[in-house]
């Protein structure tokens, strides 16, 4: 069940599922997690609701973490579907 041996249309569907899952993970992260962490260096942007984005902090790691989780879930769904069809 190597994804590299799948048909091209299934490989494209797998890549799209990874991308959509990453996008959903990023959106979910912005809705659930506060936009600050314990250390704040280099303020980039603050809105009137006091949600600030800083340059050098764990904020960007949280974005990557949730994108990876969303991509893994989306890709996992397609992978399980392929396993059930094989």
Q: Provide the pLDDT for residue 65.
A: 85
Q: What would the pLDDT profile of 36-53 be if each residue is shown by its tens digit?
A: 554 444 555 566 656 666
* DSSP sequence for 1-42: --GGGS-HHHHHHHHHHHHHHHHHHHHHHHHHS-S--S---S
Q: What would the pLDDT profile of 54-68 be if each residue is shown by its tens digit?
A: 555 566 777 788 889
Q: Given a cut of 70, is residue 2 above it in pLDDT?
A: yes
Choice among 11-25, 36-50, 66-80 with the minimum mean pLDDT: 36-50
| CA atoms of 10 and 3, how far apart (whole Å) | 8
Q: Provide the pLDDT for residue 73.
A: 92
| CA atoms of 80 and 73, how far apart (whole Å) | 10
């Amino acid at each position: 069940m190597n994804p590299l041996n799948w048909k091209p249309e299934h490989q494209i569907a797998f890549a799209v599922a990874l991308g959509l899952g990453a996008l959903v993970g990023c959106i979910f992260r912005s809705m659930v997690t506060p936009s600050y962490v314990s250390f704040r260096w280099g303020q980039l942007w603050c809105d009137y609701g006091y949600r600030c984005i800083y340059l050098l902090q764990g904020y960007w790691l949280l974005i990557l973490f949730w994108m990876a989780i969303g991509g893994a879930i989306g890709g996992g769904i397609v992978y399980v579907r392929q396993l059930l069809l094989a």
